[in-house]
Amino acid sequence: MLQSVACLVGAGKLFKRLTAARLDNTLEAEYRRLAAVELLIIDDFALQPLTPAQTTDFYEIITERHLRASTVVTSNRDASEWLPLMTDPLLAQSAIDRLTSTCHELIVEGDSHRRRQRPPAPQVDDPAPATP
């Protein structure tokens, strides 16, 4: 079996995939696959409250990977804001404690990356672009 080196997945898509795995009885296999990846990047975590199943899934993923593989979580929220968004405070705190116990936290401030990539607005004295 070929092991993936890295996996980047949006949190919303990850939880949808785990919901589908729960429905077709492949959840344990999906947990094993996620645990085996050397670097798991969960993007846009905690944009909205988590359901009970999503809270459990997050806990299971983090505990399986803790001290075994690297996990990066990106979020527009501080980790201290995650706890109220999860339905089970005990599972949530346990997952967050594991995740943050050996973490390196990077805080990016200022304009968003997407805003910085946006083309500049035309200057008032610039002529309007010609239409074809």
67/91 Cα distance (integer angstroms):
18
Asked if the model's pLDDT at residue 50 lies above 80, the reply is yes
Residue type, 21: A
Q: How many CB atoms lie within 10 A of CB 86?
A: 23
Least confident of 14-23, 43-52, 93-102, 119-128: 119-128
Alpha-carbon distance values, 123 to 32, 55, 132 (Å): 54, 48, 21
Q: How confident is the model at residue 16 (pLDDT cuts 50, 70, 90)?
A: very high
Average pLDDT on 22-49 reads 97
Q: Supply the pTM of this predicted model.
A: 0.81
| Residue from 31, 36, 85 nearest 60 by CA | 31
CB atoms within 10 A of CB 104: 5
pLDDT tens per residue, range 97-107: 999 998 999 88
What letter represents residue 119's amino acid?
P
**How many helices (H) and strands (E) are present in the chain, helices listed first?**
5, 3
